[in-house]
Structure 1
Amino acid sequence: MDATSRTVGTAPAGAPGAPGPEHPVTGGRKPAEPVDPMAPYQAADFPWYGLDDGWTGRRWLGQVGAGPGIRTPQQDAGADYGTLGHGDEPAKQPEARDVRRFAVVVTVARRPGRRSADNTGTLEATSASSAAWLAGSGLLAATWPGQLDRALRQDWMDQQSALAWDLADDLDGPGWSSLTLPVSGLPQPFRYRESEYGWVLAGEAPGVLLGAYGRGVSAYGVGFGAVADLGVYRGR
């Protein structure tokens, strides 16, 4: 997640006229300062949740998002939701997807019903369905069949995304079952579903809404807790 800026119009090092003691850089853009991957997490106005101490495997930073119109004018910076990963990180090669074992926790800020950013409509308050949708779409992105070509892959993603949306909008429906898991040591009800691609669950925690998805890791054996030190997800 580091951001760098390429200097335009300078000669390679060692070439005549290249920057150096005799030819200092007087124009062009300076390289951008590296972006701290934890900065978006630290800017959030809500607590982050991950798997609790029962998980002893690898932990890694996921992604942070800010939904258009989700924040009120008083919340003009920071995050609206984000993920923290556990186990195997996202596979770079499609064929490696089937052997990955992972569980990803999605934390969603509690936001009230509000006007849209362009003031043309009303946005619903965030809910467990919001967490379910983000978790479901995250699972799809992590497990799409690698053997599909680009055109078929998009059709598959469109079809499965529509299904995930419908399922998230009906957490009390037959597509979900009940599952009780510990959150900060206390039992908390969740809605849970499995598919051939993995599992998804959604529920609540103090101050936030929680979603999670995984594959190769049993959902029945996980627990959640507020993250006291994000450094454990940075690998330090």
Structure 2
Amino acid sequence: METTNRVGTTSRAEGRPAARRADEGYLRAPFAWYGLDEAFTGPRWLMQVGTAADGSVQHGSTGHGEAPSIKSDASGAEKERFAVVVTVAASPVRRTGDGTGVLEATTVSSAAWLAGSGLLVHTWPASLDHVTRDNWLDQQTETAFELADDLDGPAWTTLSLPVDGVPVSFHYRETEFGWVLAGSAAGVHLGAYGRGMSAYGLGFSQIKDLDAYA
């Protein structure tokens, strides 16, 4: 299972608005981006792209609903309504662009890992202070990695959701602070996480116009 080399918005050209700089990262991707389908009518926004060492775009996320914030307890988390869709380029084992290394193949587990770790970023147990949370986050991130590497294990169930109008089987699990799912579409692997919005009613589609996420 591949973990990405670095995550962040791309191209920090001076004089350009932040939103435009983010758009450029998404526009450089050699694969199609996915988000919630037209049945979702709420706010949409771009989040971050992840790049390989050679600068090529490997994955990215699109947000839907309320921008997620760190919640310190489950009752507070339930008041938020958001879903984040993670698109990961489906790639075999390949050499880096500069020829100095090898990138592992991406799989559905890659999407599951990115979705699981993404949800953890917006999670904060009430009993932990800032310092202790770092240790908690490291432990939970390792657990998310192990779970993503065992999609046939007991932590996951299956859920059929439409992707471009076609039913697709996803791996799905619930946590105290939200839910995580992962599956595949044409040429990409899809992950998603969220809370306050039921995963059972979601549908995904290829993004035709990034302006909808401006």
Task: Give the TM interval when normalised to the shorter protein.
Answer: 0.7 to 0.9
Q: Aligned residue for 2:6?
A: none
Partner of 1:29: none
2:114 is matched with which residue? 134
From 141, 152, 157, the counterpart of 2:137 = 157
* Structure 2 partner of 1:34: 16
Equivalent residues of 1:2, 1:34 under 8 A apart: no
| Structure 1 residues 214-233: aligned runs within 5 Å | 214-233=194-213
For the structure 1 residues 3 and 147, does the alpha-carbon distance in structure 2 shift closer, same or farther, using more than 3 Å as the test? farther
**TM superposition outliers: structure 1 runs of 4+ over 3 Å:** 1-5, 92-97, 115-120
> Using the alignment, how far apart are the partners of 1:4 and 1:224 within structure 2?
30
Which residue matches 1:208? 188
Query: Structure 1 pair 33/147, CA: closer, same or farther in 2 (3 Å)?
Result: farther
Write 1 or 2 for the structure with the bigger share of strand.
2
- Kindly report which structure 2 residues correspond to 1:60-209, keeping only aligned pairs within 5 A, or say none: 60-68=45-53, 76-91=54-69, 98=77, 99-115=79-95, 119=100, 122-145=102-125, 148-209=128-189
Residue 34 (structure 1) shift: 1.4
Q: Distance in 2 between matches of 1:2 and 1:176?
A: 33
Does the aligned pair in 2 maintain the 1:97–1:142 contact within 8 Å? no
SS in 1 for 2:200: helix
Question: What's the CA shift for 1:92?
Answer: 7.3
- How far the C-alpha of 1:4 sits from its partner, in A, is 8.3
CA distance in 1, matches of 2:52, 2:11: 22
Unpaired stretches in structure 1, ≥5 consecutive residues: 6-31, 69-75
Q: Distance in 2 between matches of 1:2 and 1:79?
A: 9
How far has the Cα of 1:67 moved from its partner?
3.3
Secondary structure of 2:57's match? coil
The alignment covers a number of residue pairs equal to 200
User: Matches of 1:44 and 1:118 in 2, distance apart?
Assistant: 20
Question: In the alignment, which residue of structure 1 is the partner of 2:3?
Answer: none
The alpha-carbon deviation at position 2 of structure 1 amounts to: 11
Cα root mean square deviation, aligned: 2.6
Identify which of structures 1 and 2 has the higher relative contact order when contacts are C-alpha pairs closer than 8 Å and 6+ apart. 2
Once residues 4 and 115 of structure 1 are traced to their aligned partners in structure 2, the CA distance between those partners, rounded to angstroms, is: 26
CA deviation map 1:38-57 (0-9, x unaligned): 11001100000000011111
